[in-house]
Amino acid sequence: MGTVASLDGCADPAAHPEKVRLATENAPGAEELSRVSAIFKLLGDPTRTRLLYALLEAGELCVCDLAAATGTAEATVSQSLRMLRASAVVSGRREGRNVFYRLSDSHVRLLLDVTREHITHHAAAEPQPGAAR
């Protein structure tokens, strides 16, 4: 009986050398990869992501409004905003004793929009339980 190759493996380790060269030449450096990974780690927390979507919809909110809009304790909102601000995902504007937070730029908005579209697209493509095939 012959050996069956794994679906995740290759029989020939360099089947497409030109594509491998393109991928290698255009790959981000270690520092850039680290920064991209850090953004995804920030978005990997449902509380922080919920805050970002609230800001996406409302435009600008203070800590107490973010807490009310997301059902999150103010202390948790503040801690999350510190992390998001340190990574330049949100920015703040002081008005009296309040700071109003917003998404830093259109790139953050685009990232949230595209991610949401991606998950809803795949959810719509999956057959629903009990649906006729």
Provide the whole-model pTM: 0.77
Sheet holding 98-103, edge to edge: 61-62, 98-103, 90-95
61 in a structural domain? yes
In this structure, what CATH number is given to the domain that contains residue 48?
1.10.10.10
- The residue range of the domain holding 52 is 35-124
The C-alpha atoms of residue 86 and residue 90 are separated, in whole angstroms, by 8
pLDDT tens-place values along the chain, 133 residues long = 445 556 677 776 767 888 888 988 989 999 999 999 999 999 999 999 999 999 999 999 999 999 999 999 999 999 999 999 999 999 999 999 999 999 999 999 999 999 999 999 877 777 666 655 4
DSSP H or E segment with residue 98: strand 98-103
The total of structural domains in the chain comes to: 1
